[in-house]
Structure 1
C-alpha cells in the first residue's frame, strides 16, 4: 500500500472548501467569500501592514511566521463560547479581516487571504478534543488523503491547530447535485483508513459529510474522533450502499436526489444502527 499518491488536493482554488473538514461539523455555508473579503477596508489595511508575509494573497508557510501572525491578528480579537455542550460552539466576536469557514461541535475554523493553503482551528473554552486531535495528526504525518498539522499551540487563552486547507466536495453534496462519485474515490478512502489503522488509529464517524472527492480522488476531512476505540461501521455501511445501490441505480438517475430524502436516509440509518447496538 502506497502512502503517497501523485496528486495534490490543494491546487485547484476553483473548488469550494468543505466546511466539515478539520472536524467542523456544520451544515451552514461560509460567512464570507474571499472575493467579498477582498473588497473590505480590512484587506487594504492588512496589505499595507505586510509585516514580512508573502503578499496580500500569498501563502504564509514558515511555522514561526504563522504563529506570530495568528497570535497577533486573530486570537486577541476572537471570542468563542461553549453555550450548550450538545450544540455547536458560538463565535461571539472575530477580527474583521478573518473569514469564518464554520463553527462545529468543538471549535471554529478560520482562514485569511494571506493563508491560502492553511486554516486555523480554534477550540472553544471547555470543549475537549484538542490534545486528542493533535495526537491523531502527529500519528498520521503526511498523507495525501488527510490534512497535515503545521502547528499546535496555545496562546491568549486559546488552543489552536494550523491545518492544511482541504478543498473538494463532500460525497453527500455529490449525491445532491449529481456529481459522479468514481470507484477510485472509494478506493482512495479505503486505503487512507487502512493507513490510519496502521498508525494505531481507529477511523470513527466516517460518513458522507466527512469525506470528499477532489479531481477524482478521495479525501478524509474529519479525523477528530480517530482515537475512539469503540467499533464504528459508518464507512463500511456507506461503502456497501455505494456498490449495492449507487453504482447500479442512483448514479443513473436523471435528476438530483432531494435533500429531504437524503436527510431521511441519514436519520433512518442512525435509528436502525442505534437499535442494533
Structure 2
C-alpha cells in the first residue's frame, strides 16, 4: 500500500465545524486531529501521513513547500512524499508541551531556549514562524525539541502566540507554587479563552489594556 492509496482511503465527516474521520485503512492509526487535517501513524513503520479533507487540500501544498525550505534544519521531521492532499513524514516520538502540562512532565528553561533557537533559524530562511502553540512543540525521549505543523510560517502578520507562551512560562509556570500538572479540560478552557482574546498573556499588551 502506498501513500496515495492511504490518503484516498480516508472518509471525513464534519461535526460542529470540526473534522472527524469516519473511515480509514486498517494500516493507519489515528494519532491527531487538527483544524485542517488528520495525522495517522502508518503501522509497522516510523512514519506518519498527514491527510487533508477536500476543502483544505490547498494547505497540503503550502506546508509541503515550507518543509522543503526547512530541510536543512533537523528540528523538523523529514518529509518523504507529498501528494495533492497528504504529506508522509517522520513519526516524532515524545510529548507535546500540552501533554507535558497534562502529565506533569517538567518543561525547563533549556527547552524554551531551544525553541527560541529553532524559530531564529526559521526566520533566517525568510519565513515568519507563526501559530506556535503547545501541541506543535515536542520534547523527545532524549530531551530534545522537535517542531511540527508549519503551514502558517508564510503568513505576513506578526504572530504573538509564542511570545505570549513565554510570558506565561516566566510569569506563572516558573513560580514555585504553580501546579506543574493540569487537567486537559482546564488547558483547553485556557486555550479557548486565549483564542477569543478573553485572556491576555502578553505582559506588554496587558499594560496597554489596563493603562
TM-score range, shorter chain: 0.7 to 0.9
Structure 2 CA distance for partners of 1:260 and 1:77, relative to 1, 3 Å: closer
Q: Does 1:77 align with 2:77?
A: no
Instruction: Write the distance in 2 (CA, Å) between the matches of 1:94 and 1:268.
Output: 33
Unmatched segments (≥5 aa) in structure 2: none
CA contact (8 A) 1:184 1:217 kept: no
Taking the aligned partners of 1:258 and 1:185, their CA distance within structure 2 comes to 22
Larger relative contact order, structure 1 or 2 (CA cutoff 8 Å, min sep 6)? 1
- 2:59 is aligned to 129
> Do residues 184 (structure 1) and 110 (structure 2) align?
yes
| 1:191 to 1:95, Cα distance in 2 relative to 1, 3 A | same
Matched ranges for 1:119-268 at <5 A? 119-127=48-56, 128-154=58-84, 159-214=85-140, 215-250=142-177, 253=179, 256-268=181-193
1:76-122 deviation digits (Å, cap 9, x = unpaired): 533235x47x823232321223222233222222222232x211112
1:205-238: CA deviation from partner (whole Å, max 9, x where unpaired): 1122221212322222221211111111111111
Alpha carbons of 1:265 and 1:111: their partners in 2 closer, same or farther (altered >3 Å)?
closer
Contact 2:104 2:181 in 1 (8 A): yes
Task: Give the corresponding residue for 1:104.
Answer: 34
Task: Name the structure where strand makes up a greater proportion of residues.
Answer: 2
Listed as ranges, the matches of 1:43-54 within 5 Å are none
> Any conservation in 2 of the 1:182–1:216 contact (CA below 8 Å)?
no
How far 1:261 moved relative to its partner? 3.7
Shift of 1:244: 2.6
In structure 1, the partner of 2:18 is: 88
Paired residues, what number?
A: 199
SS in structure 2 at match of 1:173: helix
What is the CA RMSD across the aligned residues, in angstroms? 2.6
Q: Report the secondary structure of 1:126's partner residue.
A: helix
Query: Residue 164 and residue 142 in structure 1: after superposition, are their counterparts in 2 closer, same or farther (change >3 A)?
Result: farther
Q: Distance in 2 between matches of 1:262 and 1:71?
A: 36
* Offset of residue 273 of structure 1: 5.0
Distance 1:194 1:250, change over 3 A: farther
